[in-house]
Amino acid sequence: MKLKSLIVGAATALTMVSPAIADLTFPNLTYRTGPYAVNGIPYADGYADYMALLNSRDGGIGGEKINYIECETQYNTEKGVECYENTKGEGSLVYQPMSTGITYQLIPKATADGIPLLTMGYGRTSAANGKVFSHIFNYPANYWVGASAVINHILSLNNGNIKGKKIALVYHNSAYGKEPIRTLQELEKKHGFKLSLLPVDHPGQEQKSQWLQIRREKPDYVTMWGWGVMNPTAIQEAANIRFPMENFIGVWWSGSEGDVLPAGNGANGYKSLAMHNTGSDFPIYADLKKHVYDKGLAAGDGTSSGQVLYNRGLYAAMLATEAARLAQKMSGKANISPADMRDAMEAFSINEAQMASLGLPNFAPSFSVSCENHGGPGLAAIQQWDAKAKKWTMISDFIKTDAEVINALIAEDSAAYAAENKIKERCG
Amino acid sequence: MPAEFYYGVEVFLNGLMAGVMYSLVALGFVLIFKASGIFNYAQGIMALFAAMTLVGFQEGQIPFAHLINAVFGTEVHHFGWTMPTFLAILFALGMMLLFAFLVERLILKHLVNQEPIILFMATIGLAYFMEGFGDLMWGSNVKRLDVGIPQGGNFWIEENTAFLGGEEFYGFYLDTLDIYATVIAVVLVISLVLFSQYTKTGRALRAVADDHQAALSVGISLRGIWVIVWAIAGFVALVAGIMWGAKSGVQFSLSLIALKALPVLMLGGFTSIPGAIVGGLIIGVGEKMFEFLIGAPLLGGATENWFAYMLALMFLVFRPQGLFGEKIIERV
């Protein structure tokens, strides 16, 4: 009798904690612990708060509640794959792993399982070729767009001529950090600058050798592909050797408040790429306050609201949920499947009017996705840190990047992937 | 002399400074291992916790604010005052003393006479507990640590050495923070050596390190010694936390500086305070010179971590107890 009661009780409990099957499931592979938590937490908070906003204010999407689940990866690839395997059975519509290493592992798995991946600004750059990567999307920007945006910015500062200039890349010695190298090498050939490569091992707390080398070689510009503690350490070391901060440009993963605040005034003038606007001066924040923060539904303690990575979490969640909304429209049903989601992501487009209606006017560029192009518009902006005001300021519009170089590299890399994995091109 | 030679000297000097920073972390390990035979896995987290506590006191942060706000629906984060650095250091020190007392009372007391591996496992548990507890108490955001020690290349040294290598040489670059760290480390080591050699408590500490049972039989309180040694290790962790935290902010990665201490310990020995210093200097100079001469020009760079462990392993082959460690002979 006791055993029977136990089984019934356990079954009831399981039914209660399991999501209703009609819910729209959005898993989030987060890292709230470990060496990269300082970056992972604000992003995860922004993502979770956007999902909470839709549930609290709108009752979900198209009448379906959002089932938001987090799984902790610690930015560790093995744990990320475990998270994917543990959550894919929940009806997960899309994965945003927030890690290039995890993305590389999930590309074949997710494709085989028919679940789309959205890796905005990270992951495998050549996944922008939708003819080869049917389930992988990396809009609105990718690493090669980032590398080209840095060079274009430097070109704009030098009247279009950077022949003979010395540019150093300080990068996280991982799959992520190595991504821009090929593009920079191609751009080196095209524009005649001299590129030097300076890898920094995980976690990046000790960079004396790299910055002594920079001091010796005196590059005109330094660009950085860093993450976690590597970013503030590099910015501090740059300030220590009195490298001109306005000539130091990080990728969008090296341009958050946590990267510059530890260096104090030394970080003043440091630049980074941006794929969206910064700050909390957007109408969505009034809604977040009313429907999420004031109701005690916020994922964090509120200290990261308006920060770069919090806004990126909002943006990532917005792109995923708007694709789900489109999927409902395209499929004619509220309870969409991952396949519906993938189809919608391929037909996705967003413009200024839509973003303004979502409370995010002038936040990010308009773009559309197609079967061939999963990578978006190839635009990036530059932001600069004001240490006195403790805020980032956008100092450029979203600038065009070198599509000629980037598209050739994407075609080459994706063709190699297709040959290796015997993938037949689609979109014909 | 060509500029390249002077840059080599510059790398050597910076290697020495980096070595001192590694030694600061290694010292904490040595102190606890020497007195109790425990390899303290939590030493890195102790440095992080000490630094977080210091910043928390400096900024007048309310401990467990997030928890308080979540439970009581309040919106409190700061007391509204800031604390002078010296006072904040004293309070942080007090917190590390309390930490040592609690570690002894809640963990070590219950593990007397257990195998070293059990004690090691307990410190792993302690590390994970402290990781979450620290975040809960002070938050997980990056914190700026400023104790008034200037940072950046020392102008005076740069200007007065620039003439050495011609136009291609810009003078020796030495970070002022590293110079301070060196002075502090020297003072710390001298103080620790004097303490262990010339004070009654220090002698008791050495007696416990030599033979627990014999020390107990002459009336030395093992538990008291453990509190003292963990408190001293907590103090050393605070110093290491200040120096490393000032370089790159106070955040979780600060706890990973322990990884830098391991090759130092393998090389210098787990039981020797001078060993931690000499080991740190050898590792610091070795990895920086290797990167300068071979790593960066020939191997693509980022060889420092690899070289440090390889050097330590080479020492292990020829001298398993480390340079200054005690040779342990166990008879069957």
Q: pLDDT digits over B61-90, tens only?
A: 999 998 898 888 888 889 999 999 999 999
The gap from C-alpha A390 to its chain's centroid, in whole angstroms, comes to 23
CA–CA distance, A408 with A34 (Å, rounded to integer) = 37
Does residue A15 carry a pLDDT above 70?
no
Q: Are both A198 and A255 inside the same structural domain?
A: yes
The CATH number of whichever domain residue A173 belongs to comes to: 3.40.50.2300
Please answer whether residues B234 and B46 qualify as being in contact, where contact means their C-beta atoms are separated by less than 8 angstroms.
yes
Please answer whether residues B322 and B279 qualify as being in contact, where contact means their C-beta atoms are separated by less than 8 angstroms.
yes
Element at A67 (helix H, strand E): strand A66-72
Question: Please, what is the average pLDDT of chain B?
Answer: 90
Is B253 in contact with A304 (Cβ distance < 8 A)?
no
Is residue A424 domain-resident?
Answer: no
Q: What is the DSSP string of A239-293?
A: HHTT--GGGEEE-GGG-SHHHHGGGGGGGTT-EEEESS--SS-STHHHHHIIIII
Q: Are both A157 and A249 inside the same structural domain?
A: yes
Task: Record the pTM.
Answer: 0.90
Of the partner residues A197, A208, A266, the one whose CB lies closest to the CB of residue B18: A208
Domain region containing B36: 30-257
Q: Are both A104 and A133 inside the same structural domain?
A: yes
CA–CA distance, A302 with A418 (Å, rounded to integer) = 45
Residues in chain A: 428
Q: Are both A115 and A147 inside the same structural domain?
A: no
Question: What pLDDT is stored for residue A22 in this prediction?
Answer: 58
Q: pLDDT digits over A214-237, tens only?
A: 999 999 999 999 999 999 999 999
Please answer whether residues B134 and B92 qualify as being in contact, where contact means their C-beta atoms are separated by less than 8 angstroms.
no
| A209: nearest Cα among B301, B5, B88 | B301
Q: Are both A127 and A165 inside the same structural domain?
A: no
- Could you give the number of structural domains in chain A? 2
Q: Tell whether A232 lies on the interface with B, counting CB pairs under 8 A.
A: yes
Question: What pLDDT is stored for residue A367 in this prediction?
Answer: 96
Q: What is the DSSP string of B49-112?
A: HHHHHHHHHHHTBPTTHHHHHHHH-----B-S----HHHHHHHHHHHHHHHHHHHHHHTGGGGT
Question: Please, what is the average pLDDT of chain A?
Answer: 93
Q: Which of B13, B247, B287, B289 has the most A C-beta neighbours within 10 Å, making it the best mutation to test the interface with A? A: B247
Which phi and psi angles does B209 have, rounded to 5°?
Answer: -65, -40
Is residue A152 domain-resident?
Answer: yes
CA–CA distance, A122 with A183 (Å, rounded to integer) = 15
Question: What pLDDT is stored for residue A17 in this prediction?
Answer: 46
Question: What pLDDT is stored for residue A18 in this prediction?
Answer: 46
Q: Tell whether B74 lies on the interface with A, counting CB pairs under 8 A.
A: no
Q: pLDDT digits over A63-76, tens only?
A: 999 999 999 999 99
Residues of A in contact with B11 (CB under 8 A): 209, 212
All residues at 6 or more sequence positions from B282 whose CB lies less than 8 Å from its CB, including other chains: B19, B267, B268, B311
Is residue B275 domain-resident?
Answer: no
Q: Are both A182 and A238 inside the same structural domain?
A: yes
Q: What is the DSSP string of A183-248?
A: HHHHHHHHH--EEEEEEE-SS----HHHHHHHHHH--SEEEEE--TTHHHHHHHHHHHTT--GGGE
User: Cα distance from A288 to chain B (closest Cα, Å)?
Assistant: 16
Does residue B271 carry a pLDDT above 60?
yes
Residues of A in contact with B292 (CB under 8 A): 209, 212
Is residue B121 domain-resident?
Answer: yes
**How close are the terminal C-alpha atoms of chain B, in Å?**
59
| Token couple for A82 | 């475990």
B14 versus B248: the higher-pLDDT residue is B14
Name, of A238-252, B59-73, B217-231, the range with top average pLDDT.
A238-252
Nearest chain A residue to B76, by CA: A301
Please answer whether residues B223 and B210 qualify as being in contact, where contact means their C-beta atoms are separated by less than 8 angstroms.
no
Is residue A388 domain-resident?
Answer: yes
Question: What pLDDT is stored for residue A90 in this prediction?
Answer: 92
Of the partner residues B132, B292, B302, the one whose CB lies closest to the CB of residue A173: B302
| Token couple for A35 | 């060496």
Q: Are both A326 and A390 inside the same structural domain?
A: no
Q: Are both A268 and A230 inside the same structural domain?
A: yes
Please answer whether residues A239 and A213 qualify as being in contact, where contact means their C-beta atoms are separated by less than 8 angstroms.
no
Please answer whether residues A118 and A345 qualify as being in contact, where contact means their C-beta atoms are separated by less than 8 angstroms.
yes
Q: Are both A268 and A307 inside the same structural domain?
A: no
Please answer whether residues A253 and A121 qualify as being in contact, where contact means their C-beta atoms are separated by less than 8 angstroms.
yes
Does residue A3 carry a pLDDT above 80?
no
ω into A203 cis (within 30 of 0): yes
Residues of A in contact with B146 (CB under 8 A): 264
Domain region containing A198: 143-278+381-407
Question: What pLDDT is stored for residue A20 in this prediction?
Answer: 45
CA–CA distance, B219 with A331 (Å, rounded to integer) = 82
Q: Are both A31 and A128 inside the same structural domain?
A: yes
Of the partner residues A197, A206, A240, the one whose CB lies closest to the CB of residue B152: A240
CA–CA distance, A389 with A279 (Å, rounded to integer) = 12
Nearest chain A residue to B250, by CA: A262
Q: Partners of A349 in the beta sheet?
A: A368
- Could you give the number of structural domains in chain B? 1
Q: What is the value of ipTM here, to two decimals? A: 0.88
| Burial profile A4-20: b = 16 or more Cβ within 10 angstroms, e = fewer | eeeeeeeeeeeeeeeee
Is residue B12 domain-resident?
Answer: no
Q: Which of A333, A357, A378 is the last residue of a domain?
A: A378
Q: Are both A297 and A254 inside the same structural domain?
A: no
**Three-class secondary structure of residue B323 per DSSP:** coil
Is residue A4 domain-resident?
Answer: no
Does residue A4 carry a pLDDT above 70?
no
Least confident of A20-34, B114-128, B230-244: A20-34
Of the partner residues A37, A201, A232, the one whose CB lies closest to the CB of residue B248: A232
Question: What pLDDT is stored for residue A348 in this prediction?
Answer: 97
**Three-class secondary structure of residue A137 per DSSP:** strand
Is residue B322 domain-resident?
Answer: no
Question: What pLDDT is stored for residue B75 in this prediction?
Answer: 81
Q: Are both A300 and A359 inside the same structural domain?
A: yes
Question: What pLDDT is stored for residue B292 in this prediction?
Answer: 94
Question: What pLDDT is stored for residue B214 in this prediction?
Answer: 86
3-state secondary structure A349-409: EECHHHHHHCCCCCCCCCEECCCCECCCCCEEEEEEEECCCCEEEECCCCEECCHHHHHHH
Q: pLDDT digits over B131-163, tens only?
A: 999 989 998 888 999 999 988 888 899 888 888
Does residue A10 carry a pLDDT above 80?
no
